[in-house]
């Protein structure tokens, strides 16, 4: 407890008003002793403190400064099979979303959600306006990449990973170890260079054990999990991705148009659920000027394009050199058509269309429309999102639906301004303003402080952050409306970037009050990191960073501990959980503290080279057979490939069998031991559209049918005993912002919903 007491004392000292400093270190939330100060916030006038000299002191990004996260998913979560999420987990997105620090417009589009099974096939696209402006083009056009299009760039002194979601991760070559490259942030993992006669290979190992293998040209060729499942990627002689095969044996076949037709991007992708078609078009774009701007009109301030906006550059005051800028060619994705008929009574989306309406930035995404299937005739388009950019190409507006008339606001309307480096002002649809402060720490833009009400799709607000010198999030402080600290959560890390202690405190009183202290115990990672992997005894492979083996907190009994201990197998899968602590009362109900303990066990089997879960043993004592028939055990039975679960045995001997579609892996039938059965049918989007249930001794089945709108929302459910005479149970409708508008049931009861522009 001495360490926790020392941290609490330091925390109390750090929030005294007299110690608030205006130095860069205080604004970053970094202070001596590892405790965040109250800092010099947006509305505070602080005297400079020359005593602070912290190495992690941030600086606002200077013009031309190399920053690794100008693009990428700003929402903090992982972005797919070949893209790590943000190392800090922070949500930097506003609206639909735009990165509030860089102004990058990011868009994730899910054409085919991941099919059932580990690393199941998916068709997911990522768009980044920042990368499009720089001329980065994937197989789907400028700024667009499939979730499998992570690549490696080889430099003399470093390796650079450009993730499919747009994030760049830099790995420097280690002095004296040229075959080994590491990021400044240990949570990004490590790359090992493996010499081969055909050229070097590059293995990027994530801390959780996932490995991405790149060939000598930096092309991704395999995604491997420590449990044995892997995805294979095949390229043609021109280096184009042509096939993706998942662990279940399903494949995506990528087809390209003939050479010389103006586009060499993907034309079709054949999947287990049908063909997805992609339409791209060529466009001339102006080259970037010395100032980073392009030829064309000036800022539109969020207005929709009109003929007056297409005037010459000089009319809008663009830089003189940009008036004669050379044009270069690019391609942009304008439409994606989905499998299935163009007309259908079942609804759904036939296609999605993408708009690029800003002549200054011809590859900047300015809107999305959905083309909904109709019972008769062509699909009907509906605009669902609009975006606008300033002269520098930064996103300045995001709104649901079409851009409203000038002076008006739309649903979830967000406007952004960038008055100075490291500062962004956001205005939501109600006219409320929020200020974001950021700086570059360890080569990446970091969020320092957020003050204001935020927006419908903003991350947390009224918060302040502090970081370690290598960019790990060390301190999170919540603030009240006046900017005073309310609570603080602080982390301490080991040399591998793992959290070893977390301290939470209430700062609202005269003295800080400790709320929680958690210690994390880890296995020794050094031996594991340098140990050769199975099957690779003659070459070093980067090792996974083991998960915590224990989390310790204070017990409800003063002076005692509550412990959760975990054991893992060689694949990093949990095999035992032990929870131990104290109860304040004994078995007789008397106030007499007694120790208590429970355990969970997981058992795995190797099938087809994969470590799969076959049994879970609960905390209750086993019966004589130690089986699901007399114990709290669950057993899973797999197919011969280790791809899909075929049967589940639960406590009491209850058994259910599952039949899956051999092509898609989607469930077709579930049957229990008593003969109750459910049969399902799915559409080309993988959504269940029909299912029926029957019981032993019943002649009639209960049938259900579902309909979806163009956004994938369930809008109608029909039931009955005859497929030709199904009766509606309810219907509902959603608007373009995905908000429920009304719901009507079979009895005639109607409910309606109305919202303000913040979707409340």
| Candidate from 287-291, 367-371, 675-679 with smallest mean pLDDT | 287-291
| CA distances from residue 373 to 78, 695, 739 in whole angstroms, order as listed | 32, 36, 20
| Of residues 134, 201, 542, the one with CA closest to residue 363 | 134
The residues near 384 (Cβ < 8 Å, ≥ 6 apart) are: 368, 369, 370, 400, 401, 711, 736, 737
CA 124 to chain centre: 12
Residue 5 Cα distances to 10, 33, 552, angstroms: 9, 13, 16
pLDDT of 367 above 80: yes
Q: Which of 499, 420, 497, 468 is nearest to 58 (CA)?
A: 468
Q: Which range, of 25-39, 227-241, 319-333, 412-426, averages the lowest pLDDT? A: 25-39
Residue 456's closest CA among 391, 495, 410?
A: 410
**pLDDT value, residue 69:** 80
Tens digits of per-residue pLDDT, 505-525?
Answer: 999 999 999 999 999 999 876
Q: Is a pLDDT exceeding 50 seen at residue 64?
A: no
Cα dihedral sign, 288-290-296-301:
positive
How confident is residue 253, by pLDDT bands cut at 50, 70 and 90?
very high
**What DSSP letter does each residue of 139-180 carry, written as one string?**
TTEETEEETT--EEEE-SSEEEEE-TTS-EEEEEEETTEEEE
Across the chain, mean pLDDT equals 84
From the list 328, 309, 265, 317, the residue with the least C-alpha distance to 293 is 317
Report whether pLDDT(7) > 50: no
Q: What is the DSSP letter of 262?
A: S
Rg (C-alpha) for the chain, rounded Å, is: 29
Place of tokens 């579902």: 706
Cβ–Cβ under 8 Å, residues 70 and 136: no
The arithmetic mean of pLDDT across residues 32-52, rounded, is 36
Residue 54: band (very low, low, confident or very high) from pLDDT cuts 50, 70, 90:
very low
Burial category of 679 from C-beta neighbours within 10 Å (exposed 0-12, middle 13-18, buried 19 and up): middle
- Average pLDDT for residues 28-33, to the nearest whole number? 35
- Whether pLDDT at 200 is above 90: yes
Distance CA 438, CA 88 (A): 14
Per-residue pLDDT band at 287 (split at 50, 70, 90): low
Q: Encoding tokens for residue 257?
A: 């148009």
- In this predicted model, which residue has the larger pLDDT, 419 or 294? 419
- The full DSSP string for 606-648 is EETTEEEEEEEE-SSPP-TT-STTTSSEEEEEE-TTS-SEEEE
Q: Is the pLDDT of residue 482 over 90?
A: yes
Model pLDDT for residues 161-173, shown as the tens digit of each residue: 999 999 999 999 8
Give me the count of residues in the chain: 760
Pairing of strands 141-142, 137-138: antiparallel
pLDDT at 312 > cutoff 80: no
Cα angle for residues 516, 594, 580 (degrees, 5° grid): 50
Beta bridge partners of 678: 670, 693
- Report the C-alpha gap between 472 and 449 in whole angstroms: 15
What percent of the chain lies above the pLDDT cut of 90?
63
Specify the pLDDT at position 497: 84
CA 719, CA 734: separation in Å to the nearest integer? Answer: 22
- Picking from 505, 507, 455, 502, the residue whose alpha carbon sits closest to that of residue 483 is 507
pLDDT at 542: 57
Please give the pLDDT value at position 647.
Answer: 97
Q: Say what the pLDDT of residue 26 is.
A: 35
Q: For residue 233, what pLDDT is reported?
A: 99
**3-state SS assignment for residue 540:** coil
Contact 271, 252 (CB under 8 A): yes
Q: Judge whether 633 and 626 are in contact, CB under 8 Å.
A: yes
Q: Which of 85, 15, 1, 10 has its CA nearest to residue 508?
A: 15
Give residue 599's pLDDT band: very low, low, confident or very high (50, 70, 90).
Answer: very high
Alpha carbon distance 160, 167 (integer Å): 10
**Residue written as token pair 């979560």:** 77
Cis, bond preceding 470 (omega within 30 deg of 0)? no
**What is the C-alpha to C-alpha distance for residues 463 and 486, in angstroms, rounded to an integer?**
9
Q: Which residue has the higher pLDDT, 10 or 194?
A: 194
Average pLDDT over residues 330-337: 95
CA angle 116, 333, 350 (to 5 degrees): 55
Evaluate if residue 51 carries a pLDDT over 70: no
pLDDT at 81 over 80: yes
For residues 144 and 135, the answer to whether their CB atoms sit within 8 Å is no
Q: For residue range 540-562, what is the model confidence (pLDDT) as tens digits?
A: 455 667 789 999 999 999 999 99
Q: Is the pLDDT of residue 755 over 70?
A: yes
pLDDT band at 532, cuts 50/70/90? very low
**Looking at the predicted structure, is the pLDDT value of residue 49 above 80?**
no
State CA 355 to chain mean position distance: 24
Contact at 8 Å (CB) between 144 and 127? yes
Q: What are the domain boundaries of the chain?
A: 93-467, 688-693+700-760
pLDDT for 327 equals 57
pTM recorded for the entire structure? 0.85
């Amino acid at each position: 407890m001495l360490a926790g007491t020392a941290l609490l004392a330091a925390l109390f000292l750090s929030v005294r008003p007299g110690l608030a400093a205006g130095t860069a270190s205080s604004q970053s939330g970094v202070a001596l002793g590892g405790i965040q100060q109250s800092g010099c916030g947006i509305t505070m006038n602080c005297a400079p403190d020359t005593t602070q000299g912290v190495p992690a002191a941030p600086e606002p990004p200077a013009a031309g400064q190399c920053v690794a996260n100008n693009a990428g998913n700003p929402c903090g979560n992982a972005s797919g099979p070949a893209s790590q999420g943000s190392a800090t987990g922070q949500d930097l997105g506003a609206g639909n979303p735009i990165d509030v620090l860089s102004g990058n417009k990011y868009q994730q589009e899910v054409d085919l959600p991941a099919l059932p099974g580990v690393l199941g096939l998916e068709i997911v696209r990522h768009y980044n306006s920042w990368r499009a402006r720089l001329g980065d083009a994937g197989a789907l056009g400028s700024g667009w990449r499939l979730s499998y299009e992570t690549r490696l760039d080889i430099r003399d002194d470093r390796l650079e990973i450009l993730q499919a979601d747009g994030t760049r991760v830099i790995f420097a070559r280690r002095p004296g170890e040229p075959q080994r490259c590491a990021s400044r942030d240990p949570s990004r993992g490590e790359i090992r260079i493996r010499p081969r006669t055909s050229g070097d290979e590059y293995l990027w190992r994530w801390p959780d054990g996932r490995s991405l293998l790149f060939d000598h040209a930096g092309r991704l060729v395999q995604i491997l999990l420590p449990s044995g499942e892997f995805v294979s990627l095949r390229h043609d002689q021109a280096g184009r991705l042509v096939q993706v095969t998942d662990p279940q044996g399903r494949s995506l076949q990528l087809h390209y148009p003939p050479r010389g037709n103006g586009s060499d991007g993907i034309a079709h992708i054949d999947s287990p659920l049908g063909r997805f078609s992609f339409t791209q078009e060529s466009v001339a774009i102006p080259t970037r000027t010395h100032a980073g701007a392009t030829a064309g009109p000036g800022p539109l301030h969020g207005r929709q394009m009109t003929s007056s906006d297409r005037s010459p550059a000089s009319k809008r005051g663009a830089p003189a050199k940009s008036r004669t800028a050379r044009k270069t060619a690019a391609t942009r994705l304008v439409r994606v058509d989905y499998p299935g008929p163009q007309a259908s009574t079942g609804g759904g989306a036939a296609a999605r269309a993408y708009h690029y309406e800003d002549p200054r930035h011809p590859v900047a995404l300015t809107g999305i429309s959905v083309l909904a299937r109709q019972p008769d005739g062509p699909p009907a388009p509906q605009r669902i999102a609009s975006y606008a950019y300033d002269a520098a190409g930064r996103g300045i507006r995001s709104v649901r639906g079409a851009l409203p008339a000038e002076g008006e606001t739309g649903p979830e309307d967000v406007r952004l301004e960038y008055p100075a480096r490291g500062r962004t002002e956001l205005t939501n649809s109600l006219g409320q303003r929020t200020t974001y402060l950021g700086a570059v720490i360890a080569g990446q833009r970091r969020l320092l402080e957020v003050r204001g009400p935020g927006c419908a799709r903003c991350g947390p607000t009224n918060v302040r952050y502090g970081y370690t010198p290598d960019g790990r999030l060390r301190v999170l402080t919540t603030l009240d409306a006046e900017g005073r600290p309310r609570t603080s959560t602080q982390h301490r890390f080991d040399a591998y970037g793992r959290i070893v202690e977390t301290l939470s405190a209430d700062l609202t009183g005269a003295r800080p009050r400790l709320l929680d202290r958690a210690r994390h115990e880890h296995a020794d990672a050094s031996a594991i990191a340098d140990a050769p992997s199975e099957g690779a005894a003659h070459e070093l492979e980067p090792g996974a960073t083991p998960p915590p083996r224990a989390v310790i907190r204070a017990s409800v009994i003063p002076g005692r501990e509550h412990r959760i201990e975990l054991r893992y197998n060689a694949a990093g899968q949990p095999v035992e959980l032990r929870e131990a602590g104290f109860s304040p009362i004994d078995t007789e109900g008397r106030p007499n503290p007694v120790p208590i303990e429970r355990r969970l066990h997981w058992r795995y089997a190797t099938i087809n080279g994969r470590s799969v879960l076959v049994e879970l043993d609960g905390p209750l004592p086993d019966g004589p057979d130690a089986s699901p028939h007399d114990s709290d055990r669950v057993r899973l039975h797999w197919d011969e490939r280790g791809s899909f679960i075929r049967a589940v045995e639960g406590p009491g001997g209850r058994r259910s069998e599952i039949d899956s579609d051999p092509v898609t892996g989607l469930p077709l039938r579930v049957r229990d031991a008593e003969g109750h059965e459910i049969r399902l049918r799915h559409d080309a989007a993988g959504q269940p559209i029909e299912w029926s249930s029957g019981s032993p001794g019943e002649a009639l089945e209960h049938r259900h049918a579902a309909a979806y709108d163009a956004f994938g929302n369930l809008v109608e459910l029909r039931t009955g005993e005859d497929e030709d005479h199904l009766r509606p149970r309810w219907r509902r409708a959603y608007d373009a912002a995905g908000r429920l508008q009304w719901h009507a049931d079979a009895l005639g009861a109607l409910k309606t919903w109305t919202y303000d522009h913040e979707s409340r």
